[in-house]
Amino acid sequence: MLSNPFYSVEVLYKLLLKENILNGTLEIRLYWAGKGTTAIPKKSIYGPLISAISIYRASPDHGSRISAAVVVGIVVAVAIIIVLIFAIFWWKGCLGKKNSSTKELNNLELQTGIFSIRQIKTATNNFDIVNKIGEGGFGSVYKGELPNGTKIAVKQLSSKSKQGNREFLNEIGMISALQHSCLVKLYGCCVEGDQLFLVYEYMQNNSLAHALFGREENQIKLDWQTRHKICVGIARGLTYLHEESRVKVVHRDIKATNILLDKDLNPKISDFGLAKLDEEDNTHISTRIAGTFGYMAPEYAMYGQLTDKADVYSFGIVALEIVSGRNNTTNRQNEGAFVLLDWARLLREKGDIMEIVDRRLLDSNLKKEEVMVMINVAFLCTNVSPTLRPTMSSVVNMLEGKSIVPKLVSESLNEKKLEALTMYYNQDDQSTTTIMEMPLTASSTSTAQDLYAIHLDSSYFESRN
């Protein structure tokens, strides 16, 4: 501070102050007066005088600093949140899927090829909509062609279905070990990230369901000889699965949509996503119920007891569909559901079983003896008791006339129900609508779909030669 340094205004006073100001302010106070007085100066001398010079250093701002403990706490909290986010994504299957699917695929002993996504895109012209021949719950099916000219069907599975992934791996492992002329051939598969593909041989005439139950303009004319050949072929395929292959297999989902037809209308069993190995040491396999209602054997549908006789039952239903040209279970609004098997049993009791025969066959070279054999075999296969159902090898022999069909036990059924069913099917014949007004894929307890799950109004099939 300066205090009275001047004795005369004419005297020059110098004061040297040495101070480094790095973090503060220098304040110089000026006082308007003379000689430092607080009154009117003598001789009327006025002017600014330095009253004081002060240095104010900035005090440290302790409030803006974060303690080390707080920093550590924040870092730990952020790390925990990140770990939780990754755990949630992993649990939902968004992470690690590629490694998991690829690892499981590598663990399978495959006898098929592995395709790259590039090969798949090239074969299908980058999944061109023109090549799309079907669509189901697992995704879409595309027609394709390999560089060597081989026609293929590419089944693309949805990446969102965990059930689809399990059945994808099951189908690869199962069918790669099975080779038979009556089973659809699996050329290979592709696992690329979350994209899953199965590559099959291409079947020019799609499915048996398409041929029998499709729109009239898209149906394939199947004479009796062709239908008999198809029925025998299905029986041979099941004989291989149950009795002849190295691993005994129960298909679990035999139905018309899973029977594919090649260019010569030869049948091939497809879609092994639900197939189970038959444990021969056990009387039956207790398992979750999966398949299609209307085709499942009673003991399996009600109690989950699975044997190869469940496939025999399903075959019996398909045999009736082949003879009648009708879908086993049909629903109409306000009329409820009618079951083909019930109608067939009622007609048999009344003695009018030939009424069940598809009227489209009446103009063909129909052999009544073979028709009756197929119908009676169907009744044997659909016996309520699984122990009374025949083996598939004996079914082949009966259909080919090498053995006699055992006598059937008569079942007493309701006459009123017969009348209602007969009236229903007679109205159905006179209707101008499609024979089957429900989707080809019937209600199922599983997410399994058909290999060629088709839309019958597909422009592809309308333009098929």
Q: What is the DSSP letter of 34?
A: S
Q: Label residues 192-203 b or e (16+ Cβ within 10 Å = b).
A: eeebbbbbbbbb
User: Residue 253 catalytic?
Assistant: yes
Instruction: Find residue 162's DSSP bridge partners.
Output: none
Q: How would you class 137 by CB atoms within 10 Å of its CB: exposed for 0-12, middle for 13-18, buried for 19 or more?
A: middle
Name the packing angle between helices 368-381 and 340-350 (round to 10°): 120
User: Is there a binding annotation on residue 155?
Assistant: yes
Exactly one of 128, 223, 253, 308 is catalytic; name it.
253
Distances (CA, A) of 437 to 49, 135, 326, 424: 110, 18, 11, 14
Q: CA 258 to CA 271: how far, in whole Å?
A: 6
Length of the chain, in residues:
465
Residue 156: CB atoms within 10 Å: 21
Task: Give the Cβ contact number of residue 96 at 10 Å.
Answer: 11
The Cα 422–Cα 346 span in angstroms is: 9
Two tokens, residue 102: 């690829």
Residues 362 and 310: beta-carbon distance below 8 Å: no
Instruction: Give, for 323, the enclosing helix (H) or strand (E).
Output: helix 309-324
Hey, what are 235's tokens?
Answer: 């029986």
Q: Measured at the alpha carbon of residue 248, what is the angle toward residues 200 and 269, in degrees to the nearest 5?
A: 30
Under DSSP, is residue 133 helix (H, G, I), strand (E, B) or coil?
strand
- Taken in order 387, 391, 396, 397, is the CA torsion positive or negative? negative
Give the separation between CA 192 and CA 116, rounded to whole angstroms: 7
Closest Cα partner for 10 from 35, 28, 38? 35
| Pair of tokens at residue 270 | 């497809």
CB 251 within 8 A of CB 241: yes
Please list, residue by residue across 213-247, b when 16 or more beta carbons sit within 10 angstroms of its beta carbon and e when fewer do.
Answer: bbbeebbeebebebbbbbbbbbbbbbbbbbeebee
List the binding residues: 155
Active site residues: 253
**Which parts are annotated binding residues for ATP?**
155
